[in-house]
Amino acid sequence: ALAPNLVQTLEGTPAFIHGGPFANIAHGCNSVLATTTALKLTDYVVTEAGFGADLGGEKFMDIKCRKAGIAPDCAVLVATIRALKMHGGVKKEDLKQENLKALEAGMSNLQRHVENVQKLGIVPVISINRFSADSEAEIDLVKEKCKALGVEALMADHWAMGGEGAADVARAVVKVCDSGKSKLKFLYLDDMPLLEKIRTIAKEIYRAKDIAVDKPVRDQLANFESMGYGKFPI
């Protein structure tokens, strides 16, 4: 559709659907038109940047925000204790068992996402989507570790309770938005060579030591720049 589709949630909240949040095949965001229209109609707009803060989140800020002239006031990082335990080495069939050691090991993944968002100048809030098998000890551990990172983590039960279950997360987001502390910082400048933009993303977001680029790729990037595409975002 050329124009955004207006839909509503089960609780009657209006939402625009326009484009798809698939950052593995595109920039991972909905359209600029949908976002800028929403910003004219309400005090707070929530938009998804798909595939994590490293892929969709970085593209949202470095591509969409750069071109649309907008900037987020807060970033919500969605995590689950199940996923963090998997990052810590727990097998899928064992995820319902309490495992504080694996959970603590898996927290390094969430820490990296927090660092990436902060590197882009945005204050994050952690939304921990609750599963019935999550133990109180595991929840306390995640909150403790997030506090040590300087970010607030809150439980979200919206999968079972609807909007009421995410009220604490919403209040934390409003608090961050109203603080004015988020100041978007792009990862790279428009006039950087395309190869250096790629290198910057690889090193700063994915923590690569460097990148290896074959001559055909270098030639193709040089050709893009000769055609006037060098100032495009990556």
Residue 120, pLDDT score: 97
Residue 44, pLDDT score: 96
Mapped onto helix, strand or coil, the DSSP state of residue 19 is coil
Length of the chain: 234
pLDDT digits (tens, 9 = 90+) for 128-163: 999 999 999 999 999 999 999 999 999 999 989 999
Extended beta strands in the chain, E state: 5-8, 14-17, 75-79, 124-129, 152-156
pLDDT digits (tens, 9 = 90+) for 77-118: 999 999 999 999 999 999 999 999 999 999 999 999 999 999
Give the least confident one: 50-64, 77-91, 125-139, 168-182. Answer: 50-64
Radius of gyration of the chain (CA): 19
Residue 92, pLDDT score: 94
CATH of 72-187, one of 3.30.420.40, 2.40.40.20, 1.10.10.10, 3.40.50.300: 3.40.50.300
Domain boundaries, the chain: 1-70, 72-187, 194-226
pLDDT digits (tens, 9 = 90+) for 4-46: 999 999 999 999 999 877 877 888 899 999 999 999 999 999 9
Residue 207 predicted with pLDDT over 80: yes
Which pTM does this prediction carry? Answer: 0.92
